[in-house]
Amino acid sequence: MLHKTYSEVADVHTRLKGLGLTAAALQEAVQQGYLSRTRLTSHHPRIFFGYSMWAETVAALRDNLRPEGWFKVDDNNYELTISPGSTLAIAVTTGDDGTGLVAQYPSNKCPKGAYTVEAIETNQQVDMFADLLPPQDENSLFTTWVLLIHVAEGEVRAELSLPSEIVGGRIKAWKERIILPALPREDVAVSIAPPDIPEIDVPIMRKTKA
């Protein structure tokens, strides 16, 4: 299915700016999530590797966006980060190996439940009936974007994309995809300019291995 994809650096920054976001804020959150994964050992439960990366990415994303007025919603453990005008939400999830690749068509790695289905159905309604809906306020329906993350060989890929269809818990169609520059894995030096948030200290540090 046809969709709009942003992958050139200038286009990515322009589109994100239109959403009240920056590539730095998203990338730094992904980096923090990945670094939390690298600190784990073989003694940690295997399931915790993915969970730790997801949780730390969600937390870092909220930390980075809080100064801009974004806030969290965690009703029924469905974790969202909501824009100041309550018009846009971001959910974080693990993507498959098509994540972050322009020529591929990504999906979520693990099946999603009823809350994700409901969010995507809302996206469809907002898209189909945009001209008929009243002006948005704090009680309006918001669109839910997905920050997909995939740990690949040598790099961590991510994209912020707007899902439009889900079947059997798997996202099958996207309205928009914003491809973020890939981040190198732990064995490659990395330098990311964090967002300008002086009141919050978000160090990018790796624990020294014994």
Q: Which residue has the tokens 């009680």?
A: 139
Q: How confident is the model at residue 135, as a pLDDT?
A: 41
Q: For residue 36, is it within any domain?
A: yes
Q: For residue 197, is it within any domain?
A: no
Cβ–Cβ under 8 Å, residues 33 and 57:
yes
Q: For residue 204, is it within any domain?
A: no
Q: For residue 190, is it within any domain?
A: no
Non-local (6+) Cβ contacts of 193 within 8 A are 24
Helices (H), 66-200: 114-128
Q: How confident is the model at residue 125, as a pLDDT?
A: 55
What's the Cα-to-Cα distance from 197 to each of 13, 99, 186, rounded to whole Å?
Answer: 18, 28, 25
Q: How confident is the model at residue 30, as a pLDDT?
A: 96
Phi, psi for residue 64 in degrees, rounded to 5: -70, -35
CA-nearest of 163, 150, 173 to 101 is: 150
Q: For residue 193, is it within any domain?
A: no
In this structure, what DSSP letter does residue 138 have?
T
Each residue's pLDDT, cut to its tens digit, for the chain (210 residues) gives 568 999 999 999 999 999 999 999 999 999 999 999 888 889 988 888 888 999 999 999 999 999 999 999 988 778 999 999 889 999 999 999 999 999 999 988 876 656 666 777 666 654 443 333 334 444 446 889 999 999 999 999 999 999 988 888 788 889 999 999 999 986 544 444 445 444 444 444 455 554
Q: How confident is the model at residue 128, as a pLDDT?
A: 40
Q: For residue 195, is it within any domain?
A: no
Q: For residue 91, is it within any domain?
A: yes
Count the helices and strands in the chain (H runs, E runs).
Answer: 4, 7
Structural domain boundaries enclosing 154: 4-130+140-184
Q: How confident is the model at residue 121, as a pLDDT?
A: 66
Which pTM does this prediction carry?
Answer: 0.78
Q: For residue 192, is it within any domain?
A: no
How many Å is the Cα radius of gyration of the chain? Answer: 17
Q: How confident is the model at residue 78, as a pLDDT?
A: 83
The total number of structural domains in the chain stands at 1
Q: How confident is the model at residue 188, as a pLDDT?
A: 44
